[in-house]
Structure 1
């Protein structure tokens, strides 16, 4: 019996993708895989050191040369995602060359470590400007053309360091947590236009692992993450507004959830303290964990209002 993935190849013929930070590591794996599947690719990469210093345009061009030599189509771009002008120029490169943009993968990143107490403002802003502001710059530039065309796939990049936090990388953690908000809003605003946005939460050994002892790590190269991003970028992908994690061969969905919660018509500080165990409880005696999904802002409000109304009705019945 053939493996399900072999029954019908998921290809990107006729599609155009922009991959930021596409010259090395994860971005390189994404760009290569899409190109191998027939996609035309803008490989955006400054080619600098991991801190973002010392641009080297040959990094993106070398990958482009490799793609072209294998029969694919690609162009190099060395604009910076860190400015609105750079973000527009990156997307415009796709529009100028092929007249469209179907896929945007924001993977560009830099690392400058520092604790909340000690990080310099320059190091803080440098990372936020690339990871967080960079995401907005390229998404905003691509969003209009995608919505006007009635089709688009956006893949943002978060991290376990953003979802769960990590020490000595406040700039990185804040930026990667910020992907949650951008992802949700792009998914909501793109819903009526055939534009889907999801976030990859990757774990792979790349330059960003420099200085970390990886001797006990299982295999976790970028090639294990690339197919997940390829699926999120494909026209057949059914999900939007989701975070999909991929680390060391494991794929999972990460999401924000709520406990059932506790209702009272009035609260004091002491009441809140007393109720804390109940509204923190997520099982096994109170196993209801609520996953509201893409329209969670509406569902959260509706659920809270419904609880207030039902509890108030019960209270009035008891009082009577």
Structure 2
């Protein structure tokens, strides 16, 4: 199977460097027209430069593709709207959005200024919200769309010194989970990419031997798949160093407690049953959890009657 993106229009945020650059080049190589979004700051979000994005546009156009740069700050909805409007004016549609823009402001939680926490949430979470909101009506009207959130193992599993980054990266998964419920009939597939790659965002954080294995291109292979007609939906695809896996949240089957038993002492006594993973299930929506507990209660009450 060969993934072909001819005629598709893609917006990639944070596309001047690292993973975003790799994603933009790969999408263009597969036939997509690409908006190279890049503010051009350093990895903490400070500064501004169009040079990195202009280089990406040049590489795409020299290879025979179509691209333009837009310097929208993803935390500014008006600028994001302008970027989307320019895309519509030029190409008439938006098929693909990769929410890749990000910053790092690592510190232990005790030492982290709240401004650094807010900045990470603004870029990673609200940046994804802003960009997705700006294309949402377009994708619904054309009844087609592919949205890729960029999450992280730091959000799913935690990482020392990254409370801000981890919280934001877990937040985009909550966004994805709900948007999937609201977009099912419009052929809008929404997935998340959990990358491990050596970029300027990870400089000094990994041994050199590791960074040689962690090429951005390995992650981009997964990103392009999530942008294709063959993409799954509501999936977290993890990629790095040639490894690919799917992460998911599962819930134990749990137990039922009668009103008389519903106290912390009984919960403590039956903790092993509550945490038994032998009947783990992946729930498709929050409503399924409520349904599971209600059905469990009804079954128990019926058995007692």
Shorter chain as denominator, the TM-score bin is over 0.9
Secondary structure at the residue paired with 1:304? helix
Residue 149 (structure 1) aligned with residue 142 (structure 2): yes
Secondary structure at the residue paired with 1:289? coil
CA distance in 2, matches of 1:265, 1:70: 68
Aligned to 1:313: 302
Alignment of 1:172-211 (within 5 A): 172-211=165-204
- Contact map agreement 2:15 2:23 (CA 8 A) in 1: yes
CA distance in 2, matches of 1:117, 1:290: 36
Aligned to 1:235: 229
CA distance in 1, matches of 2:18, 2:89: 27
Superposed CA offset, 1:23-61 (max 9, x none): 111111111111000000000011111111110111111
Residue 277 (structure 1) aligned with residue 272 (structure 2): yes
Residue 262 (structure 1) aligned with residue 251 (structure 2): no
Alignment of 1:105-184 (within 5 A): 105-184=98-177
Aligned to 1:3: none
Q: Which residue of the other structure, out of 277, 280, 295, is the alignment partner of 1:289?
A: 280
Secondary structure at the residue paired with 2:194? strand
CA drift at 1:215: 2.8
Alignment of 1:207-218 (within 5 A): 207-217=200-210
CA drift at 1:121: 2.1
CA drift at 1:86: 2.4
Aligned to 2:48: 55
Deviates more, 1:239-248 or 1:31-40: 239-248
CA drift at 1:228: 0.8
Secondary structure at the residue paired with 1:18? strand
Per the normalisation by structure 2, the TM-score is 0.96
Per the normalisation by structure 1, the TM-score is 0.92
Aligned to 1:98: 91
Gap regions ≥5 residues in structure 2: none
CA distance in 2, matches of 1:215, 1:249: 17
- Contact map agreement 1:188 1:241 (CA 8 A) in 2: no
Superposed CA offset, 1:249-270 (max 9, x none): 1111111100110111221111
Aligned to 1:5: none
Superposed CA offset, 1:144-198 (max 9, x none): 1100111000000000000011111111011000011110112111111111110
Secondary structure at the residue paired with 1:154? strand
Q: Which residue of the other structure, out of 184, 196, 219, is the alignment partner of 1:225?
A: 219
- Contact map agreement 1:42 1:93 (CA 8 A) in 2: no
Superposed CA offset, 1:96-134 (max 9, x none): 211110000000001111222221122122111110110
CA drift at 1:19: 0.1
CA distance in 2, matches of 1:108, 1:213: 21
Secondary structure at the residue paired with 1:59? helix
Aligned to 1:84: 77
Superposed CA offset, 1:84-104 (max 9, x none): 112222322321211110000
Aligned length: 302
CA drift at 1:305: 1.4
CA drift at 1:16: 0.1
- Contact map agreement 2:38 2:53 (CA 8 A) in 1: yes
Identify if the C-alpha distance between structure 1 residues 246 and 213 changes in structure 2 by more than 3 Å, giving closer, same or farther.
closer
